[in-house]
């Protein structure tokens, strides 16, 4: 549904009127600083995890004016050139090598990945159509869930025997 007002700048110090779980600032107290952030202006640390990826987002913590707008912006930094791809429910892979300024759209809810094929760092700016998007790292969700997915289920899903 559309928002009831044009904007609702998040006010984390109040608890009166809530929109998306956060109270709104009085519109008379809103300024340009509520709609501006530099959180995406610098590269993230890609060596801090085994995937070589850093993700920064413009959540209401860093950009209060984004509250109720139904989106966030993100910066993905990759340790190299990048290949972006998504796979449809019919198992069709859409993949492209992208260059500076190129755009690649991931359909909502479709499994996708980003892979840096070069030797130099790469960055992606993304628009996500949710104020609080979720994500799953497929290998971790599959093989490191708690409780664990039973081996029989994994073997059947991957069409292998348990010993494999």
Q: Where in the chain is the domain with CATH 2.60.120.10?
A: 18-133
- The whole-angstrom distance between residue 48's C-alpha and the CA centroid of its chain comes to 18
The 10s digit of each residue's pLDDT in 11-24 is: 767 666 555 667 78
CATH number attached to the domain at 18-133: 2.60.120.10
Instruction: Determine the pLDDT at residue 150.
Output: 92
Give binding residues for Mn(2+) as ranges.
Answer: 112
Instruction: Determine the pLDDT at residue 3.
Output: 64
Distances (CA, A) of 87 to 97, 113, 154, 155: 15, 9, 20, 22
The 10s digit of each residue's pLDDT in 121-157 is: 888 898 888 887 777 788 888 999 999 999 999 999 9
Give binding residues as ranges.
Answer: 112
Residue 59 pLDDT greater than 80, yes or no: yes
**Three-state DSSP state, 87:** strand
**Which 3-state string (H, E, C) describes 5-59?**
CCCCCECCCCCCCEECCEEECCHHHCCHHHHCCCCCCCCCCCCCCCCCEEEEECC
Q: Please, which pLDDT band fits residue 53 given cuts at 50, 70 and 90?
A: confident
Residue 82 pLDDT greater than 60, yes or no: no
């Amino acid at each position: 549904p559309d928002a009831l007002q044009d904007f609702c700048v998040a006010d984390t110090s109040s608890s009166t009127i809530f929109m998306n779980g956060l109270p709104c600032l009085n519109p008379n107290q809103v300024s340009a600083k509520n709609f501006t952030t530099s959180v995406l202006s610098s590269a993230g640390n890609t060596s801090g995890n085994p995937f070589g990826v850093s993700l920064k987002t413009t959540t209401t913590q860093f950009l209060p004016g984004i509250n109720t707008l139904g989106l966030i912006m993100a910066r993905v930094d990759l340790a190299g050139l990048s290949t972006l791809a998504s796979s449809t429910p019919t198992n069709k892979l859409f993949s492209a090598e992208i260059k500076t300024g190129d755009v690649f759209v991931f359909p909502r809810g479709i499994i996708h990945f980003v892979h840096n094929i070069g030797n130099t760092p790469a960055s992606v700016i993304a628009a996500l159509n949710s104020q609080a998007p979720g994500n799953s790292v497929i290998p971790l969700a599959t093989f490191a869930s708690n409780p664990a997915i039973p081996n029989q289920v994994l073997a059947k899903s991957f069409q292998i025997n348990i010993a494999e």
